[in-house]
């Protein structure tokens, strides 16, 4: 028996919508904290990777952030022009670009250090529910269904 497509086509029956709306809401919580630093959310997550690893290839950065090269490249160009990062090609494989923090990029971490706590305090989830949501989202991302 065929499912009623009218029911299936309701916005309230779409898993994608609450994921989309929640993602927008959570990322918007970062804006008041990132704006004084002159950063967008996407630039911030690039810095999170670099602050953790100090230097990575563009390919590794794309993979880690689940973004494509077309999104990352202009962003990196801007961060380089602002003095936060450097980009160099590997001598043994000039197709591979390595992104590294500059001293200015390292200093920015100190200015941004309270952001995770500030944003976390804006969320009204109990810690155990937040942990459960985090685990479910990563389970979904790791399922290979994308």
Band of residue 144 on the pLDDT scale cut at 50, 70, 90: low
Q: Residue 61 — φ and ψ, nearest 5°? A: -65, -45
Q: Does the pTM of the predicted model rise above 0.75?
A: yes
Question: Tell me: the pLDDT tens digits for 81-138?
Answer: 999 999 999 999 999 999 999 999 999 999 999 999 999 888 888 989 989 999 999 9
Given a cut of 80, is residue 2 above it in pLDDT? no
Q: Domain 33-112: which CATH class?
A: mainly alpha
Instruction: Determine the Cα angle at 65 with ends 87 and 96, to 5°.
Output: 35
Dist CA 49 CA 55 (whole Å) = 9
Question: Tell me: the pLDDT tens digits for 130-139?
Answer: 899 999 999 9
* Model pLDDT, residue 145: 54
* Model pLDDT, residue 66: 94
Token pair belonging to 53: 């690893």
Range 49-68 average pLDDT? 96
Domain locations in the chain?
Answer: 33-112, 114-146
Sign (positive or negative) of CA dihedral 82, 34, 46, 69:
negative
């Amino acid at each position: 028996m065929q499912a009623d497509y009218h029911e299936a086509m309701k916005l309230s029956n779409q898993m994608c919508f609450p994921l989309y709306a929640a993602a927008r809401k959570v990322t918007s919580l970062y804006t008041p904290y990132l704006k004084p630093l002159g950063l967008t959310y996407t630039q911030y997550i690039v810095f999170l990777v670099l602050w953790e690893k100090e230097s990575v290839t563009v390919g590794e950065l794309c993979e880690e952030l689940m973004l494509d090269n077309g999104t990352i490249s202009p962003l990196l160009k801007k961060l380089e022009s602002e003095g936060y990062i450097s980009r160099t090609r590997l001598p043994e494989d000039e197709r591979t670009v390595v992104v590294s923090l500059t001293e200015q990029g390292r200093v920015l971490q100190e200015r941004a250090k309270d952001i995770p706590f500030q944003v976390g305090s804006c969320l009204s989830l109990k810690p155990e529910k937040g942990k459960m949501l985090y685990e479910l989202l990563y389970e979904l991302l790791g399922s290979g269904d994308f």
